[in-house]
Structure 1
């Protein structure tokens, strides 16, 4: 109730990067050049970047600007990213997709530490998954968390992700191999929980 439910007939075949998603408390929109300072501020915190595989620490303004230059209007859904904006407070984090090992789509996300514990990440990821399954024919989406990141694992459980294995993954911010819980969400499971 009150959350954005994309209409697949309207979105399929549309340019994926044109989407803006509105939830009860959040706006998910395309990254913009002006987001660089807030992205750098929140990601230059090991409590945040240390939970992510592909983000360095320290994280500089130049890192944010370089990432923003990779965002284009013609990217496929599997490479689309949304910033998470809290109305009246500005950018709080991001959620998006990339192609992982084996060519499988992976969802990843982060939230600035001042916004933790409010349910924002679950709300944002739910909208991003609604969008993704509406604009693609993908039968599943992969994700995962470092073993110590219980909060993120709880978000994934709420969304219907299930554990499919354990692995080791390099964490750039920690400059170390870290034990990882591998997860997936199938289209069938996603549709089933929407009923």
Structure 2
């Protein structure tokens, strides 16, 4: 894999700033993830979620410099911290996961953030495919992935820490070619 950027960059969109998480983000992270409507949609997030959890998570992300492991705090102009998205390696391919604080749902923020981060990842690496997925009940997150060109590859069972149970998961993937095609189609 070719790397063109050694660290997580700052990405800017029309209304967002995506940047590496910092320790001062911990209170906002804890506040938003200590809402079961948010944490119950995520695999690796416990509930309740404490400030100490947020601090430990931020410490675990420091030093992540490869594109397939990059993490981005999402800030909205005039609102500040609203959520997070990050890449994590799943074998030879990156996966992408994301969450948004409950007060910010339904505003198109996550679609804008995920598109910018995926565009950066494909520009900063030779990855051909990105993996993701959603729990079967998370229609809003699946709609984001569909809009960006992800396709369903199957179903699996995934442990949801907040729910303390295995939950049906819709597995998805996005190829570089499909992403570029979807971006071109949305601009015409």
Match of 2:24 in 1: 34
2:96 is the alignment partner of 1:107: yes
Asked whether the equivalents of residues 27 and 84 of structure 1 are also in contact (C-alpha less than 8 Å), the reply is yes
Q: What TM-score comes out, normalization by structure 1 length?
A: 0.90
Match of 2:88 in 1: 98
Shift of 1:71: 2.1
CA distance in 2, matches of 1:120, 1:88: 13
Shift of 1:103: 4.1
CA distance in 1, matches of 2:12, 2:42: 25
CA distance in 1, matches of 2:30, 2:64: 25
Match of 1:168 in 2: 157
CA distance in 1, matches of 2:113, 2:100: 10
2:123 is the alignment partner of 1:134: yes
Asked whether the equivalents of residues 15 and 74 of structure 1 are also in contact (C-alpha less than 8 Å), the reply is no
Query: Where has structure 1 moved over 3 Å in runs of 4 or more?
Result: none
Match of 2:4 in 1: 13
Residue 139 (structure 2) aligned to one of 140, 145, 150: 150
CA distance in 1, matches of 2:41, 2:113: 18
Asked whether the equivalents of residues 15 and 73 of structure 1 are also in contact (C-alpha less than 8 Å), the reply is no
2:170 is the alignment partner of 1:181: yes
SS of match in other structure, 1:16:
coil
- For structure 1, list consecutive stretches of 5 or more residues without a partner in the other structure: 1-10
Asked whether the equivalents of residues 12 and 134 of structure 1 are also in contact (C-alpha less than 8 Å), the reply is no
CA distance in 1, matches of 2:92, 2:122: 17
Shift of 1:191: 1.7
CA distance in 2, matches of 1:103, 1:28: 25
CA distance in 2, matches of 1:168, 1:14: 35
CA distance in 2, matches of 1:16, 1:192: 27
SS of match in other structure, 2:131:
strand
2:81 is the alignment partner of 1:79: no
CA distance in 2, matches of 1:57, 1:161: 28
SS of match in other structure, 2:172:
strand
Match of 1:4 in 2: none
Asked whether the equivalents of residues 160 and 185 of structure 1 are also in contact (C-alpha less than 8 Å), the reply is yes
State how many pairs are aligned: 183
